[in-house]
Amino acid sequence: MATIGDGFKDIFLAGIGAMAITAEKSKELVDQLISKGELTVDQGKQINTELKHKAEDVAQTMRYDALEARMAVMTPEERAAFAAKAAEFAAKANAKPASAEVGDASPVEAEPAPAEQPAEGEPSATPQTPGA
């Protein structure tokens, strides 16, 4: 014969079983979400790299297409002048150290400007206080 105490005991044990199953399932779910998240991050990095390369390729193609279109409308004299100027730019770029690139934000060391000396008989450029 089942008593009220047996009913409470069964309800209590069912609750503990439900908590145990919930803990197991939630752990599985969390592990699944973590693995999906890791895959998504890796895929995102890969897609980002691919898009970067594609964008660089498209930008380079567009630059060359624009240059080709511009040169197509130039006269032969204009093209010769352009080629000479491009050769001048290339020579300047080749003369620079290889470590400096376009867009490089590294500091550039400049030579200090020579201090100007006033000629004899000319007043000094720096103000002088009386009694100094």
pTM more than 0.75: no
DSSP string, the chain: ---HHHHHHHHHHHHHHHHHHHHHHHHHHHHHHHHHHHHHHHHHHHHHHHHHHHHHHHHHHHHHHHHHHHHHTS-HHHHHHHHHHHHHHHHHHHHS-TT--TT-------PPPPPPPPPTTSPPSS---TT-
85-96 pLDDT, tens digit each: 999 999 999 987
47-106 pLDDT, tens digit each: 999 999 999 999 999 999 999 999 899 999 999 999 999 999 999 999 876 555 555 555
Instruction: Please give the Cα distance from 24 to 32 (Å, whole number).
Output: 12
